[in-house]
Structure 1
Amino acid sequence: MGSGHSHSHDHGHGHAHAPADFGNAFLIGIILNTGFVIVEAVYGWISGSMALLADAGHNLSDVLALVLAWTASIAAERPPSERFTYGFKSSTILAALANAGLLLVAIGAILFETLHRIAEPAPVQGDTMAIVAGIGILINAGTAALFMRGQHDINIRGAFLHMAADALVSLGVVIAGLAIIWTGERWIDPVVSLVIVLVIAWGTWGLLKDSVAMSLLAVPKGISEAGVRAYLSARPGVEAVHSLHIWPMSTTETALTAHLVMPGGHPGDDVLREIQRDLDHHHRIGHATIQIERSHPDKACC
């Protein structure tokens, strides 16, 4: 059987790599939030506020998430080797999955103590809650602003959502502290803590779902397998498309392999480069491998 094989890879276009652009953002976020976790935990203990302690636990998980995301994104920049021919690009996917796991652990620990406090409300210093949480709004909102761009990367998006949610949670704690000052009701603190848990769980579900899908090599969000297949099938001389696979190499890069049945033979390198450019520019697939076949495998002679 006569067949032509061609592998077209794109290394000329710029792909979004989080570490180079967000190294300082990660570092600033880690330093600020580590300091705040310590302050919040200490004053949460002093004031007896479960809401502050819950928020401190959440912020701690976010610090660990930032560390993991930063470490993984740096590892993703390492060049390929004989054993790891893709380098360590997929470490960013593992980091996203690990971050989701950390959040689940935080949810369980906070929920356990929150339910205990709901059953047995404890005295709480509302003024301390409001002041410390107010500082948290500034720190978390400032950190979130560092990650506003780069939403195409699940790690950057996760960092932004975590920090933005933390700012909203801190706002809730401020409101709870003021409500306790005005009413003196103890139940307000654990109820706000429960709301915090629900907010964390909502954000965690999305991150967990996306990171698991990437780990299972699902077609990345925003890329249509049907659209890619239709584009390849519509190319002049293409009779059929089979063995089409699209998967994430990292949280920002996508790869593709496909077999094109072209009875007229190999169309030439220029045509393959055009296909590769179209896949990159219109479908966000930067690493494409195309194999040309003269006949479909089912029709091939032995």
Structure 2
Amino acid sequence: MSHSQHPHAHSEAGPVSHAEGHHGHGHHHHAGGTDRRRLLGALLLTAGFMLIEAAGGWWSGSLALLADAGHMLTDTFALGLAWLAVGMARRPADHDRTYGYHRLEVLAAFVNGLVLLAVVGGIYYEAALRLFHPEPVAAGEMLLIAALGLFANIASFALLHGGHHDHGNLNRRAALLHVIGDLLGSVAAIAAALVIMMTGWMPIDPLLSMLIGLLILRSTWAVIRESGQVLLEAAPADLDVAALCDVLQREVPGVLDVHHVHVWSLTPERPLLTMHLRAAPGSDSAQVLAAVKSLLAHRYGITHSAVQVEQGPCPDGDATEQVGHAPGCC
């Protein structure tokens, strides 16, 4: 019996040749090694200056410096976690983890986001205490330490931002966000020191710390939300599943309806899909399958899909999971 005569044609792989898969895999490993070295450099810079800034904050009495040192302590942990995740993600798939270890980078981003939330909470708590009970600040010492910190943070930022980075990679985005938070903290400490030196107005120190915390919070929530969606295996935010079903029914000859559709992401840059589709009687299942996979790859960037083509009743029974409002897309 030919492939087109089978009632159920099934495919597990996307339209990527063996040679193409190996080329992309090698490129990913090379990029991962570069990112890991840059993360290690940023980690060492952050950890070293964290000790200097903590001592300087205690010496000068500056909450902005102490808050930034506390932030850098968590960032040392965060960058270390990101560094480990990049290395683990390069490990090949095995029988227990058939998708490999790519999700570790998403998990690291989620954990780092939660750590940043705790840091912002601590900054706000200390700022509130300092506003109600102002303490003197040695502005000159504070300015010196903050300026040194700014140079260290700029160097860390240049290391991470200058590497092979993908805006879809949550782990690298989360690591960079930690460093940006440190950089803004140093700017805030410099501004607070200058205001105190010129006016003697002490509340500027905790007020600027709260402002920086707000800026960090906004970006942190975006990383937590996106990594949480990936971990919950939600459909990619930029993909309308109902519209995808409608496009397949309208534009692929021989497709009568689409059902049992599931779309999720291994990582934000690796969308995955499974679906059943019913082909018209007498149509060539192999041609229908090839057309569907081509459309998924070129229009939606989904190159790994499992598509079951049926020319009779669905063997899994009636589809009951509603994922959209397109006719036949359930």
TM-score, scaled to structure 1: 0.89
Per-residue CA distance 1:253-298 (angstroms, 9 max, x = gap): 2211111211346746576455435433432223211111113539
Are the equivalent residues in 2 in contact too, given 1:8–1:272 (CA < 8 A)?
Answer: no
Give the gaps of 5 or more residues in structure 2: 1-5, 319-330
Please tell me the residue identity of whatever aligns with 2:146: A
The change in CA–CA distance for 1:153 and 1:265 in structure 2 (over 3 A counts) is farther
Give the total of aligned pairs.
301
Per-residue CA distance 1:80-110 (angstroms, 9 max, x = gap): 2222221222112211111111112212222
**TM-superposed deviation, 1:165:** 3.5
2:11 to 6, 13, 24: 6
Partner of 1:179: 195
Partner of 1:89: 102
Deviates more, 1:252-261 or 1:172-181: 252-261
Separation (CA, whole Å) in 1 of partners of 2:93 and 2:304: 14
The change in CA–CA distance for 1:138 and 1:277 in structure 2 (over 3 A counts) is farther
1:19 to 3, 8, 32: 32
**TM-superposed deviation, 1:142:** 2.9
Are the equivalent residues in 1 in contact too, given 2:167–2:173 (CA < 8 A)?
Answer: yes
SS of the aligned residue for 2:309 comes to strand
SS of the aligned residue for 1:239 comes to strand
Please tell me the residue identity of whatever aligns with 1:140: N
Partner of 1:167: 183
Partner of 1:205: 221
Separation (CA, whole Å) in 1 of partners of 2:182 and 2:282: 58
SS of the aligned residue for 2:9 comes to coil
Please tell me the residue identity of whatever aligns with 1:75: M
Separation (CA, whole Å) in 2 of partners of 1:80 and 1:199: 38
**TM-superposed deviation, 1:189:** 1.4
Please tell me the residue identity of whatever aligns with 1:211: S
Partner of 1:71: 84
Please tell me the residue identity of whatever aligns with 1:208: I
Please tell me the residue identity of whatever aligns with 2:10: H
Separation (CA, whole Å) in 2 of partners of 1:185 and 1:278: 63
SS of the aligned residue for 2:202 comes to coil
The change in CA–CA distance for 1:231 and 1:188 in structure 2 (over 3 A counts) is same
Are the equivalent residues in 2 in contact too, given 1:239–1:262 (CA < 8 A)?
Answer: yes
Cα RMSD (Å) of the superposition? 2.6
Please tell me the residue identity of whatever aligns with 1:164: I
**TM-superposed deviation, 1:70:** 2.1
TM-score, scaled to structure 2: 0.82
Partner of 1:191: 207
Separation (CA, whole Å) in 2 of partners of 1:96 and 1:266: 46
Deviates more, 1:129-138 or 1:1-10: 1-10
**TM-superposed deviation, 1:54:** 0.8
Per-residue CA distance 1:1-58 (angstroms, 9 max, x = gap): 9322222234635378462341121111111111111111110111100001111112
Per-residue CA distance 1:55-82 (angstroms, 9 max, x = gap): 1112222222222122122222222222
Partner of 1:136: 149
Partner of 1:232: 248
Deviates more, 1:283-292 or 1:236-245: 283-292
The change in CA–CA distance for 1:140 and 1:231 in structure 2 (over 3 A counts) is farther
Separation (CA, whole Å) in 2 of partners of 1:170 and 1:109: 17
1:250 counterpart = 2:295: no
Q: Report sequence identity in percent.
A: 36
Per-residue CA distance 1:152-174 (angstroms, 9 max, x = gap): 21112222233233323321211
SS of the aligned residue for 1:4 comes to strand
The change in CA–CA distance for 1:269 and 1:163 in structure 2 (over 3 A counts) is farther
Per-residue CA distance 1:93-147 (angstroms, 9 max, x = gap): 2111111111122122222222111111111111222222222222223322333
1:127 counterpart = 2:132: no
